Each structure stands twice: as C-alpha cells, then as structure tokens.
C-alpha cells in the first residue's frame, strides 16, 4: 500500500491544476524514471506499471542471475545467492524481477521527487496556458484589473491567468480601478523561462478592427470588409471599409443612424474620433476621401515617390491638416502617400517660414499647428479669431500681422 498512498498524495495536484489523470500519470512516470536514474545510474532495466483508474504505480527492477562473486554491475546483475532469497529455484542466466518500493528510494529522494513533480506540473500547466493564449493572439479578450502599477496594469481572467497591459499599450485617457473589467486584444504571447508572458493592447489598430467585427453585424458576417485601420490612440482614427454587395452602404452600415452603431466603439476608445471611409482602388479618390472633412480642389499623384500634391481653398486647409496635424498624418498612413497641401493662389502668397528672421520659430510652429503656414492665410483671419485658435498672446499676433502686412505693402 505504500506506493498507492504516495501516489494518492501526489495526485492532489491533479485537482488543484485540473490535469487529467492520464497526463498526471505520464508526468509521474517521467519523474520516477529521473529518480531511478539518479539512484541506480540507469533506468533501462526498470518497468514502471501505472494504473490510471486506481492511481496505483508499481516499479520492477529486472536483473540477470550470475554466479556468486561474479557480479560486475549491481544494477544489471544479481548473485545466485541473493536471487534465491527472492525465489529458491532461480538458476544462473535467468532473469529476476524484483519490486522496488518507493520507500526504498530514501526519504530525501522522495522529497526531491515530490518537488520535481510540482515543477513538472507547473511546466505542463504553463505550456497549456501558452498554447491557449497563442491561439487567441489578435482576438479581443476581457480580464479584471488586479493590480495597477506605474508602467503596466496587471489583469487576471476568470481562470486566474495573469495578463499584462503595458502603459504604452493603453489609450492615454484610460483610467482603471481595481476589480473593473478591461477589454483589449491579446497582442503577443511569449514563454519567458517556463512562464507565459501575455501582453494585451488597447492602442493597436487591430483592436479597433476587432471592435468593428464584434459590434457591427455586417462586418462579423463578412458582408463588409475592414480594409485598413490607422489610429492615434484616444485622439483620431480612420477606417477604410468596403462591401462586395452593391446594395450595402458600408459607411452607413458601420456608422448607423445618427452614429448609433459606432457610438459604443467610440466610448470604448475614450471618445476617439473615428472617420469611416469608403475604400476604393482609385487612388486619387481614395486620397480625397482620406482627407475628409476637407474638400479638395485638385490633386496630383506621383506613384513613384508616393507623394500627393493637394490644392485646397484657404478655408479648407486647416480641416485637411486637423488638430495637431492628426488628420493629414492619418490620411497619409491610410493611403500610403506623403501628402503635401497647397492653397489656391499660393503662387501670390509667401510661406511663413520666409519670415524666420523677423518671427521666432516657435511662433511660426504655433500657426502651422492650425494649418496657417503662409502670410495670406494669417492676414485673412481676424485678430480675435487668431487669439482663439492659437495659444499666442494678442500682442504677439498683432506684431506678426504688422510684419506680414509690410511685405505686401512693399
């Protein structure tokens, strides 16, 4: 009963780790063979018999009977005298099988064996977790906030698996409380040592794409295809969509009546501004759509250099560039073209950087942020409007306007 009692004590790990009995027995055999090899130098002549249903295990040592005084390898051979203690009618040359009790291995070996078993079960458990989450890479997953650190939020799922949401994978406006559920995509899964490292992301463009799949039935069903997603997390995103069914308006279906369908996605992303655009193979039209809400007067593409020269009316330039340059940057990422913006009548205008001797660079940059990078684009605005649009003092703006006026008076 010694073997059975010990095996049952080892089997308690099965219930804790939810390992099936057959797998546990395979791990046990591997662990016992390691112990036998350590004690006897070799385990080739040992038979380990496992009964998965009863949790029983027997170890038998096989040796050849040799004449007394001729034993050269005690692990492989047994003297006739010792063999006849087991069975009186044994003769030289016969095989002897002798059961090895676990207690024969010694208390220290049993403790080491138990520790090895724990390690093997953890290794098996971690391998299963790795495989499980590797299959979930790129999919949306929900877990609960367990611990909030400076550089990452530690999440736990329902099975107690640890998931890391690093600071640079969070949306800037994200604010988490312990115990609340968080959604993101499983971005990467790696084995570090024997422990799986599971990284979640909320800032990835793929997260937005997967939200479209989960929230918009036509995308989930494949009637609408998300062709490309670009994002500045928490600020602005552009999503190009297409449909192979001419009866479906992909943009209308994604946005919904008065934005009803996309509202949940916007809320999930911290009120990120999402432009949904009809995809087209017509590059000129695609660049035009990508720069919305600005209206383009004309466009010229250079497919070799991947540059687009876009001409707009002066009042449309700031719309094309967008707050902080977000709109034009995302349009370039979406289309794959570097976009250069020009105003109508720009040949009669003077670029603001031409005045760098008289106007400080930081002031020029402040105007450029709102799409005002020529003299006329500033002179067309009222002083009061310029004060509201920029972070500049009225006195500074008046000084800049006077400098620019002199240029045209001359």
Contact 374, 349 (CB under 8 A): yes
DSSP 348: G
What interhelical angle do 2-10 and 107-134 show, nearest 10?
40
- pLDDT tens-digit series, residues 110-119: 677 677 777 7
Confidence band for 173, pLDDT divided at 50, 70 and 90: very high
Comparing 344 with 163, which gets the higher pLDDT?
163
Confidence band for 47, pLDDT divided at 50, 70 and 90: confident
Task: Give one DSSP letter per residue of 168-191, joined into a string.
Answer: GGS-TT----TT-EEEEEEEEEEE
Question: What's the pLDDT score for residue 334?
Answer: 96
The angle formed by the CA atoms of residues 329, 330 and 336, to the nearest 5 degrees, is 90
Q: Assess whether pLDDT exceeds 50 at residue 359.
A: yes
Closest CA to 161 of 187, 195, 115: 195
Confidence band for 89, pLDDT divided at 50, 70 and 90: confident
Q: Assess whether pLDDT exceeds 80 at residue 360.
A: yes
End-to-end Cα separation, the chain, in angstroms: 109
Contact 250, 223 (CB under 8 A): no
Q: Specify the pairing of strand 307-312 against strand 296-302.
A: antiparallel
Say which range, 243-257, 276-290, 337-351, 355-369, has the weakest mean pLDDT: 337-351
Percentage, residues of the chain above pLDDT 70: 88
Q: What is the mean pLDDT of the chain?
A: 85
Comparing 354 with 257, which gets the higher pLDDT?
257
- pLDDT tens-digit series, residues 291-336: 999 998 889 999 899 999 898 887 888 888 888 889 999 999 999 9
Bridge partners for 318 per DSSP = none
Question: What's the pLDDT score for residue 17?
Answer: 52
Which helix or strand (DSSP H or E) is residue 192 part of?
A: strand 181-192
Confidence band for 4, pLDDT divided at 50, 70 and 90: very low
pTM over 0.85: no
Q: Name the range with the highest mean pLDDT among 21-25, 27-31, 142-146.
A: 142-146
Task: Give one DSSP letter per residue of 42-58, joined into a string.
Answer: --TTEEEEEETTTTEEE
Comparing 266 with 371, which gets the higher pLDDT?
266
Confidence band for 1, pLDDT divided at 50, 70 and 90: very low
* For range 231-242, the mean pLDDT: 95
Question: CA–CA distance from 162 to each of 146, 154, 159 (Å)?
Answer: 9, 7, 9
Question: CA–CA distance from 113 to each of 125, 130, 193, 383 (Å)?
Answer: 18, 25, 21, 83
Q: Name the range with the highest mean pLDDT among 3-12, 190-199, 267-276.
A: 267-276
Question: What's the pLDDT score for residue 223?
Answer: 94
Question: What's the pLDDT score for residue 99?
Answer: 84
* For range 241-267, the mean pLDDT: 91
Domains, in order of start, for the chain: 2-131 (3.30.1480), 137-201 (2.40.50.140), 222-343 (3.30.300.20), 346-409 (1.10.150)
């Amino acid at each position: 009963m010694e073997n059975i009692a010990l095996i049952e004590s080892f089997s308690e790990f099965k219930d804790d780790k939810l390992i099936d009995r057959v797998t546990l027995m395979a791990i046990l055999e591997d662990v016992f063979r390691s112990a036998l090899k350590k004690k006897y130098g070799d385990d080739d002549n040992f038979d380990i018999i496992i009964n998965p249903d009863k949790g029983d295990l027997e170890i038998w040592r096989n040796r050849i009977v040799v004449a007394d005084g001729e034993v050269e390898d005690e692990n492989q051979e047994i003297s006739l005298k010792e063999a006849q203690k087991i069975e009186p009618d044994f003769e030289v040359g016969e095989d002897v099988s002798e059961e090895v009790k676990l207690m024969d291995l010694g208390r220290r070996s049993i403790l080491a064996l138990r520790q090895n078993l724990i390690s093997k079960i953890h290794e098996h458990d971690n391998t299963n977790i790795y495989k499980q989450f590797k299959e979930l890479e790129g999919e949306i997953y929900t877990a609960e906030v367990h611990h909030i650190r400076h550089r990452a939020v530690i999440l736990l799922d329902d099975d107690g698996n640890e998931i890391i949401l690093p600071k640079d994978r969070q949306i800037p406006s994200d604010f988490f409380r312990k115990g609340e559920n968080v959604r993101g995509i499983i971005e990467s899964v790696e084995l570090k040592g024997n422990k799986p490292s599971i990284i979640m992301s909320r800032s990835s463009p793929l997260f937005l794409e997967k939200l479209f799949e989960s929230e918009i039935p036509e995308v989930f069903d494949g009637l609408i295809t998300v062709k490309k997603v670009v994002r500045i997390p928490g600020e602005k995103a552009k999503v190009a969509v297409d449909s192979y069914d001419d009866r479906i308006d992909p943009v209308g279906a994604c946005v919904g009546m008065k934005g009803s369908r996309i509202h949940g996605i916007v809320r999930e992303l911290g009120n990120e501004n999402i432009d949904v655009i009809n995809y087209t193979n017509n590059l000129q039209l695609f660049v035009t759509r990508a720069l919305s809400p600005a209206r383009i007067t004309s466009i010229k593409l250079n497919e070799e250099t991947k540059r687009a020269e876009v001409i707009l009316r002066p009042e449309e330039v700031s719309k094309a560039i967008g707050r902080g340059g977000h709109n034009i940057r995302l349009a370039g990422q979406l289309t794959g073209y570097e976009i250069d913006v020009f105003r109508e009548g720009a040949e009669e205008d003077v670029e603001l950087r031409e005045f760098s001797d008289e106007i400080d660079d930081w002031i020029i940059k402040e105007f450029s942020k709102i799409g005002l990078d020529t003299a006329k684009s500033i002179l067309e605005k009222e002083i009061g409007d310029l004060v509201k649009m920029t972070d500049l003092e009225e006195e500074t703006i008046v000084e800049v306007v006077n400098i620019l006026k002199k240029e045209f008076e001359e």
